[in-house]
Amino acid sequence: MHLSRLTDYIHYLFCPDKPFLRQLHHILGFYPRKVSVYREALMHRSVNHYHPHDKKKDNERLEYLGDAVIETVVSDILYHHFPSKKEGFLTSMRSKIVQRSSLNRIAKEIGLVELIQSNHINRTHNSFISGNAFEALVGAIYLDRGYTYCYRFFEERIMGKHVDISKVAKEDDNFKSKLIEWSQKMQYEVVFELVDENTIGTNSPTFRTRVCIEGIKLGTGFGYTKKESQQLAAKEAMHHIRKKTELYKKAAEQHAARTSSTPEPENPTNTESVESPMPMDQD
C-alpha cells in the first residue's frame, strides 16, 4: 500500500468521526485529514440564523476559494485534452462545465447534497446551495491536500463519470445568441431587462432578467451573474418560440400589427440587408 494511503487509513482508524469520513471517502476517493474544514464546506450560512450570537463558520469563504480552484483545474484539464483548440473554444467549454446548473447536478449525482447542513431559510438561494457546497468542497480539498488532489479528484471522479467532454464540446447552449440571431432574421423587437438585483451574504449577488419580444414577456431568468440570468431568460423565450405557445402568438400579433403600420422603404432591393430596428445586446 502506498505510504500516503497508509497514513490516511491510520488517520481514519483513530478519527472519532468515522461515519463522516466514510461518506467523504465514497465521494472523494481518499480519506481527508483536516476533517473540520470539510465540515465547514458543508455548512450553509442559514444554519447560523438560529444562533446569531455564536461564532459559527459557514462555507462562503471556501466557496470563494473553490470557485477559483475549479476554474484552474478545469482549464488545466481542457488545455491538455484539446491541444490544438484555441482560447475561445477552451473558454466556452470551461464556462459550460463550471456553470451553476452543472455544479448543482454534479453535487447531486455524487451524493454531496445529503451531507449539506442547511435550514433552507433563504428560499431564493436554495437552488444554488448544492453547487455552492461543491465549490466549497473543492476549496476544502485544496486546503487539506493541495492542488494535485483537486486535479486528481476532477480527473478520476468527475470527468468522464459526470462530465462528458466530447458531448459538452458539441453542445450549443448560447440561447441569448440564438434568440438575437432569430430576432434579427425575423425583424422582431427583443429587449433584455434587468428587473431585480440582490446580494445574498458577502459574495453571492443574484440577478433576475426578463426578455420581452414585441413588448410581450416570453422569458424570465434568475442567476448568479447578469449573463446567466439572460441566458436562462432567452432559453425560456426560445421554448415559447419553438412550441408556438399562446405567448408567442401574442408577440407575433404585435409584430404583425407593428410591421403593417410601418411604411415600406422606397427602394427595397435587398430585404436581407435590412437590420433589426433596435440593438439587441444589453449586457
Pair 160, 94: CB distance under 8 Å: no
Q: Report the distance separating Cα 86 and Cα 67, nearest Å.
A: 23
C-alpha cell at 89: 473554444
Pair 127, 104: CB distance under 8 Å: yes
Pair 44, 133: CB distance under 8 Å: yes
What per-residue string of b and e applies to 262-271 under the rule 16 or more CB within 10 Å gives b? eeeeeeeeee
8, 60, 135, 144: which one is catalytic?
Answer: 135
40, 58, 63, 67: which one is catalytic?
Answer: 67
Pair 211, 234: CB distance under 8 Å: yes
Q: 3-class secondary structure for 160-200?
A: CCCECHHHHHHCCCCHHHHHHHHHHHHCCCEEEEEEEEEEE
User: Grid coordinates 411604411 are at which residue?
Assistant: 263
Report which of 63, 67, 59 is spatially closest to residue 40, judged by C-alpha positions: 59
User: Grid coordinates 442567476 are at which residue?
Assistant: 223
Q: Report the distance separating Cα 283 and Cα 273, nearest Å.
A: 25
Indicate if 67 belongs to the active site: yes
Q: How many CA atoms lie within 13 A of 250 on its CB side?
A: 11
Q: What are the catalytic residues?
A: 67, 135
